[in-house]
Amino acid sequence: MRNTLLLLCGALMLAGCCGRPGSDSDLPVYADESQPIEKRVEDALKRMTVEEKVAVLHAQSKFSSAGVPRLGIPEVWCTDGPHGIRPEVKWDEWDQAEWTNDSCTAFPALTCLAATWNTEMSALYGRSIGEEARYREKDVLLGPGVNIYRSPLNGRNFEYMGEDPFLASEMVVPYVREVQKNGVAACVKHYALNNQETNRLRVNVVVDDRALHEIYLPAFKAAVDGGAWAIMGSYNKYRNQHCCHNRYLLNDILKRDWGFDGVVISDWGGTHDTRQAVEYGLDMEYGSWTDGLRSGTSNAYDNYYLAHPYLELLRNGEASMEVLDDKVRRVLRLIFRTAMNTRKPFGSLNSPEHLAAARRIAGEGMVLLKNDDAVLPVDLAKTEKIAVIGENAIKMMTVGGGSSSLKALHECTPLEGIVAAVGDRAEVVYERGYVGDVTGAYNGVTTGRDLSESRTEERLIADAAAAAADADVVIFVGGLNKSEGQDCEGADRRAYGLPYAQDRVVEALAAANPRLVVVLVSGNAVAMPWIERVPAVLEAWFCGSEAGNALADVIFGDVNPSGKLPFTFPVRLEDNSATALGEFPGGKDVVYNEGIFVGYRWHEQQQIEPLFAFGHGLSYTTFAYDNVRANRGSMSDGGSVRVSVDVTNTGDRAGQEVVQLYIGDDASSLPRPVKELKGFEKISLNPGESRTVTFTVTEDMLRYYDDSKGRWVAEKGFFTAYAGAASDDIRGTVRFEYR
């Protein structure tokens, strides 16, 4: 409504109608949606004063920037994502605005989405969250995040899509496209190299060009190629320039090489210098404090780097009007795509469809890491008592974690989901087991749950073990939470192991009852010193509003788990390349000594066995792979090779399998990984059913980035295609030649 009224007002003023509706021909070009966007942009641009041009480049409130009221061009409203629509805050502050109608559906964290390995789930996610943003009249959704998982200690990993650039690239595009079908811009973040939270405003990343192009940029390029309308710069530095105004990343790569026509938005408070912001690619500046610099200024937003300081440079002839107009064109293009798009569909908020989507994505993303003796699924026909242990079984996880914290309309906890699913078919008893963070508040949103506890650690463990000994099956729900020092923006994890003495709890439960299921709620890998004594482990992620129901679906077999890990679980932190070859988190300069050898690439190069490998994930059924083959033994420039594999469901229930294709270069001028993910397909098979999965291998899948030449290179020679169920579970190979 706000957009329509502003547009109508401007059209009436320019048409000279004085309250009398004008005909379509009276509309100025920029207000006529039948005209091409570029024509509308140029028409609006020539009507704007210099002051109006500068005004649209910086914030006017915590989450909005100005339009051009004189022309009826509306303001831009942003909202934090990427897992749900953030509650409203006051005009200038982070404090809650205390609305009663801004609760949202909380969708699973992006690690869970990536773990589905299913682009259809990504599209469903984007469509659903886009509808919620549209309902709330938001123009820009600040997400998704695609920074690469470099270390399991990064506090913000849960907001990203894993360690592999190909997987992240494939998963980000459907999310972006479906969000934007709602007339809401997806703002892909954090561009680039935002791989630690410690010293994030000051740290300078030192990484070679090859790793930059092969590992850290592909998902951003995929998003741009997929049509993303906005990109958010990251807090850190690269080449000693902050990434929100970085000549190489923004001007040279993003806008020149990739042809990005959208806006570059600063992270909040990520701008540090007017001249660099002007010259090095920033288009819209937002800030953490009311003036982007500090709090308490009376003319707050005029003090932004792209506000009066920029205007003074222009008036003094020290800044180019050509550069200004490029920025304004991009902002106008954004506004015409979003706020002035009167043809966008209606949105919806907290609909049954959105809750169903959240539950489906969560269930499909959960990863069954281990299942000895078929402890899962729990057969309620043979179970009289279930002991549920662990604080994470009762703790709400939608509140906290930083800017992705939400005010969800409701959140089903694991215990609530289990109790609802069991009904009167079995007895469910609960014990706390450990005490972590008893608070339940972030930024003015509270869970309203009292998690205070008076028992000692020893008493809690003893009570949990006693309950376990008296049960038919034990479900321990632990892992991490979204408190500072765990999975949380602004700080990195303090240790790789589980916090709050959870290892002691697990050991006691394993001693008390051999039918133990460990459920990990986290966005990161964790150490598991007890792994040999626990028969079943399930990675359940942060799953939002429907977390408990989705978990119960998997535990009791209504959903056959099909998630695959989007990152490697090392046995020890020292097995991770960022730690093995340097320090994490780094100090002033963080040197990425590992180069391209991130995650499974490092483990395979060094022959280090992981705890659980990239791409790993079990099912309640089994799949056989046969007859890996290629349609020809060689390919040339512009040609291709089709690699096929037959997959059969050899178990007794229907299930989904992610068939993965990796390519390895048998001999290369530069060091290369043993193999790299280059394709995947998720298929559904009934018992006994078979399907042939075919991947087309093209020349671009064989390339590496030669930093000495500054370009991508595919060398002639032999390559091996690996087909399998995980990076360490290859079921067949075929060799072919590129000549």
At 207-223, the pLDDT tens digits run 999 999 999 999 999 99
Residue-wise pLDDT tens digits, 189-207? 999 999 999 999 999 999 9
Contact 715, 672 (CB under 8 A): no
Handedness of CA 450, 451, 453, 459 (dihedral sign): positive
Calculate mean pLDDT across residues 633-649: 96
pLDDT, residue 349, reads 98
Distance of CA 276 to the CA centre of its chain: 29
Residues whose CB falls within 8 Å of the CB of residue 212, separated by 6 or more in sequence, listed in order: 192, 193
Give the tokens for residue 221: 């390029």
Q: Do 282 and 429 reside in the same domain of the chain? A: no
Contact 522, 516 (CB under 8 A): no
- What is the CB neighbour count within 10 angstroms for residue 314? 18
Q: Do 357 and 333 reside in the same domain of the chain? A: no
Q: How far is it, in rounded angstroms, from Cα 289 to Cα 310?
A: 19
Q: How confident is the model at residue 500 (pLDDT cuts 50, 70, 90)?
A: very high
Q: Do 106 and 255 reside in the same domain of the chain? A: yes
Q: Do 390 and 468 reside in the same domain of the chain? A: yes
**Residues paired with residue 492 on neighbouring β-strands, in sequence order:** none
Q: Do 186 and 220 reside in the same domain of the chain? A: yes
What is the full DSSP assignment across 343-378?
Answer: TSPP--SS-HHHHHHHHHHHHHH-EEEEEGGG--S-
**Residues paired with residue 676 on neighbouring β-strands, in sequence order:** 663
In a domain, 596, yes or no: no
In a domain, 207, yes or no: yes
Place of tokens 């394709």: 679
Contact 56, 45 (CB under 8 A): no
Q: Do 10 and 44 reside in the same domain of the chain? A: no
In a domain, 136, yes or no: yes
Give the tokens for residue 294: 């500090």
How much helix, strand and coil, in percent to the nearest 5, is found in the chain? 30, 20, 45
H or E stretch covering 14: helix 2-15
Give the tokens for residue 241: 């320039």
Contact 693, 708 (CB under 8 A): no
Q: Which of 515, 556, 555, 557 is nearest to 538 (CA)?
A: 555
In a domain, 347, yes or no: no
Query: What is the percent of the chain where pLDDT is above 90?
Result: 92
Domain final residue, candidates 523, 544, 567 = 567
Angle between helix 119-135 and helix 352-365 axes, rounded to 10 deg: 150
CA separation (Å) from 311 to 54, 61, 282? 7, 19, 15
User: Between 295 and 341, where is the model more confident?
Assistant: 341
CATH label of the domain that carries residue 713: 2.60.40.10
Q: Do 72 and 168 reside in the same domain of the chain? A: yes
The residues annotated as belonging to the active site are 267
H or E stretch covering 191: strand 185-191
In a domain, 576, yes or no: no
- The count of domains in the chain is 4
Q: Do 360 and 323 reside in the same domain of the chain? A: no
CATH label of the domain that carries residue 250: 3.20.20.300
The yes-or-no verdict on residue 514 having pLDDT over 70 is: yes
In a domain, 291, yes or no: yes
Residue-wise pLDDT tens digits, 318-366? 999 999 999 999 999 999 999 999 999 999 999 999 999 999 999 999 9
| Residue span of the structural domain in which 16 resides | 1-33
In a domain, 579, yes or no: no
Domain final residue, candidates 337, 368, 387 = 337
pLDDT, residue 18, reads 35
Q: How confident is the model at residue 297 (pLDDT cuts 50, 70, 90)?
A: low
Contact 505, 433 (CB under 8 A): yes
Q: Do 533 and 645 reside in the same domain of the chain? A: no
Residue-wise pLDDT tens digits, 573-596? 999 999 999 999 988 999 999 999
Calculate mean pLDDT across residues 431-458: 94
Query: What is the percent of the chain where pLDDT is above 70?
Result: 96
CATH label of the domain that carries residue 385: 3.40.50.1700
Q: Is the omega angle on the peptide bond into residue 585 within 30 degrees of 0, that is, cis?
A: yes
Torsion of CA 360, 361, 367, 368, to 10 degrees: 0
The yes-or-no verdict on residue 478 having pLDDT over 70 is: yes
Q: Do 643 and 699 reside in the same domain of the chain? A: yes
Q: How far is it, in rounded angstroms, from Cα 626 to Cα 690?
A: 10
In a domain, 162, yes or no: yes
The yes-or-no verdict on residue 4 having pLDDT over 70 is: no
Q: How confident is the model at residue 2 (pLDDT cuts 50, 70, 90)?
A: low
What phi and psi, each to the nearest 5 degrees, are found at residue 195? -115, 10
Residues 709-716: contacts with CB under 8 Å, at least 24 apart: 710/209, 712/213, 714/738, 715/665, 715/668, 715/669
Q: Do 219 and 328 reside in the same domain of the chain? A: yes
Q: How far is it, in rounded angstroms, from Cα 335 to Cα 330?
A: 9
pTM: 0.96
Q: How far is it, in rounded angstroms, from Cα 220 to Cα 392?
A: 34
Q: Do 206 and 318 reside in the same domain of the chain? A: yes
Domain final residue, candidates 281, 303, 337 = 337
Q: How confident is the model at residue 305 (pLDDT cuts 50, 70, 90)?
A: very high
Calculate mean pLDDT across residues 679-707: 98
Q: Which of 98, 95, 39, 31 is nearest to 67 (CA)?
A: 31
